[in-house]
Structure 1
Amino acid sequence: MNIDNNSFDLMQPSPVPILFIPFKNNEYECNNCGNLYSKTLKFEQKYCKNCLLKYKYTTGSNTYLDVHIIMTNNAQCIEHKATRNNFCTINIQEWCKYCSEISYFRQVFSDYLSFINTKPFNYEVCDKHLSKRGPQYYQLSFGWVESTILSKKSVLIIYLPWWDNHDRCSICPRELDYIQQESKFHCQKWCSHCFIIYIGCSYCLTTNIIIGITNQSQCKNCKRVSFLNIDISGNCIIDEFLFSIKIENKNHHFIADYVNKDPFNVYRFIRSKFYSGINSIIWIPYSQIRNLKKIAEGGFSVIYKATWSVSSYPYFIDVAVKKLINSQDISKDVLNELKSLYQCNDGNNWIIGCYGITQDP
């Protein structure tokens, strides 16, 4: 794994994983304890008060979180006196579930404004308590890692110094899927349409964005290594083809050059380089193809009419399925034909589009 030499001076890694903030902000229940999530006063960042309380007592330190806390109403607080009126702090050990609220977590990126507007509600009182870490503190860096589907090629990793808990892909509008892990706390997600992987470090609240498929990722702050297990089609030739039509290698270098010109617009820049607006050819599980009815046969293939149960939509689509004869090992010539068809498809109806590739098990 090759990492650039840009500065990555972050908060000290937590001695225990931070499990009270979800990796997708559209969740309602804590993955760790099952309680309902609460929301911060600003930016509606979700967190679990029960797990935060356990974390507070376990660590006994305020050096692991960049958080802003304000006092709400301590009239009935059983732990503090009224002297906490107009109270504001960045020390998580000062947080009380009875008389204070989390204004926002500065390390959590669920809203662009959370990094631009850094002032809590009661700014006049709290100004002296504001973190010294302004937006310029959160700088990006990048590196390269060997691809597990592209032979002798590398894919780009962008090291984000914040916890990215978006629930949708930064390129297309599809919801991100969790990658299966042994732990019930999820910190790996990906877009199977765009081949973009998001790996979170729950000790540092950082995120690696991997543009491509690989089998491991390392946190740049604490050096912990996360292992990934992503199986797309089970066929390396098909996997390489699907990746090649989605992401051009030259765009990797455009993003690497852009990284610290405007860190908080990095998502918009990635989208501008990879989003085409044209439906891409995807891998379709054979179980989603139903009601096959033979309508024609030639020397090399059989044509069927079928229905496709689209996983991302609650309905079926009538499709034509072209099944190649004696195609246990798909050739690159067939895939090159598909690639040419995809490149010619500019969204007009006069070209027959291809939804994807499947394989009869």
Structure 2
Amino acid sequence: MSSSSQIHCGKCGKNYENNLNAESEWCKPCQREYLKENFSSWTSGNEKIDGLIQEMQLKIDGPRDIVFEWIPYNQFNDIIEERKDGFAIVYSAIWKNGPLSYSYFKKKLTRESDKKVALKCLYESKDITNEFLKEVKNFPKIYGISQNLDTEDYIMVFHNEYFEYLEKQCKSCHNIKLEDKWCNSCHVNFIRKNFISCNSGNKEIDEYIQGMQSNISNPNAIVFEWIPYYQFDNINEIGKDDTYAIYSAIWKNGPLHYEYMTGWVREPNKKVALKCFQNANNEFLNEVETYSANCYNDNLIYGISQNPSTKDYIIVIQDKYNKKCVECGKKYIDMQYEWYNPCQINHLRNEKIDSFIQEMRTNNESNNIDFNFIPYNQFNNVKEIGGGGFSKVYSAIWKNGPRCYSDDEKEWRRIPNKKVALKCSYDSQNFTKEFLNEVKTHLALNTEFFINIYGISQNSDTKDYIMILDYAEGGSFNNWLNNNYKEFSWSRKLKVLLYIIQGLKVIHQKSIVHRDLHTGNILFTTNNIDDFNVVISDTGLCGKVGNTETNIYGIMSYVAPEVLKGKHYTEAADIYSFGMIMYFAATGKQPFNDFAHDSEVLALNICNGTKPEINELKMPKCYVDLMKRCWDSNPKNRPSAIEVEKLITKFKLEESEEIKKQFKVAEEYRKADPLNNKSVTIQTQPAEELQNDDWPVDTIDFTMF
């Protein structure tokens, strides 16, 4: 701050409440007193409005808060109607003077002129209601109140983000939509009015059907309904036992479902299965509840019917009985996926690779990706995007694309022209076992926290084997943070770290250690700061817990001191690496960046207990404490991945007022940092150096440690 030793306000002499206020020279009592003294300089002409504005102004709590105020209507230019309904009209406008807020650099209140805002004008609001006042108080980004001089209607002046909020709101009932174009209450009312009625003649069943319809929560749901028995043709028995009989049938009208382009439609002449219960009792509805109305679920139910002759109740469900493979005529091994292993396995050429792929496909638990051998001529636009001591990585377009199973269509489908990553391991034709072990590890870690693997290929020129992986559009943590540094709030930092530690927990639960965890191996699925997933990549160095190999791999600044001293990798060594990732997330700097050009000196310092320099005032204390535990020189003092996950979750949920306060202050520091308002290049080690460090560090004399 401008006077780092100043902890008292120069005007009133009171202590600043926190370090951010001190750095900004922002004093809450002085600011509130200034606003209070200024009450006489403005008026809305309405006591209720004046009282509300004064109340809102005196709630100002920090230098980042906007000053809520009365805004004369003549302050708005370029007023354009954006949305209109039965309650209000919303306009976009330019506020000439703009909102009033405190400037960190000028140390005073300033305005942001020509600010685009949203004006919400309520009909007949010249008579102020409690509902109006409540909405003003509850919306987080509201600048103030104005009044249309012609209609005398009051206007709420919102941040321009209000239009994003409106997009999520149903235009008919004003409830928040659950999905794009989808409002639960409106759709339930619509289908009841236009399509169906509950008239089974049984009160309990009618109430059950109505309850199921009221629970429609997304456009993927099939409408559960009462289906008259005369709707079924071609009824044929499939099988029976003492409790029920199963029939196949054609439902003439077919099930009701939602399509974005056309709305609610039926699928006529739908083949279904009828599960008919003999002498049904209270257990009937219990049986109904074992099914799902989600169209992506294999256990799909359409509704209830009744045989008018026998009075037996019928559950109308998806036809999935007695299906056979169209290629070989044999019954499917797995009804859910209509999948018969021998028909899905291609005849491959390399015996060892063929055998491996067949084994992996047979043991594949998810069955939703067709893991296979892909000819190299399937790839276009092959471009090198990275590399290390063991491999190079390329982006490419896979012409045919991966073959994935569609739960919706109940069939295998290709995704043509799919952008993928090709990881080409050096000399892998001579190290087939090592290459296949890495592929096997990828498949073993088949969860949302790891990059997907589609199959194996082979470079026709070099004969090196290739792994076909998902392409991560956001790139590595290094690249992603360089693009998103300004918006990388503490909340987002915790979200990223939670993804990483959850992935590391999965690795450790499978008795594996990663051994090469650093920011270059953390990938982001998109560049979007608000919509991303984080995955761990490069499992090539993963090894079983207890492996006594002591070769040192990876990025020096992420390697634990005990490993540098000749001990083997453990889960605790991975946690040390995670501690360094916590440092990178908090600071935007690589750990030990000053040592980037001298690996031997860096190794010596790490072994002697040196840690990256941190400014603890700019980080939450609980975060710093955890980071220090993770990089503790003694591996026995480091927490497990499970404990780290629990603590980061606790931070993210702000489970205590103290945690909430610490992260609030840290976020204020981050926003006030001058570097946060300009283009920042994240400090990383040069690519050549990363490559040179990414092999066994056998050039260093470790006996000195």
Normalised by the length of structure 2, the TM-score is: 0.18
Normalised by the length of structure 1, the TM-score is: 0.31
Q: Counting helix residues as a fraction of each chain, which structure ranks higher? A: 2
* Structure with max Cα Rg: 2
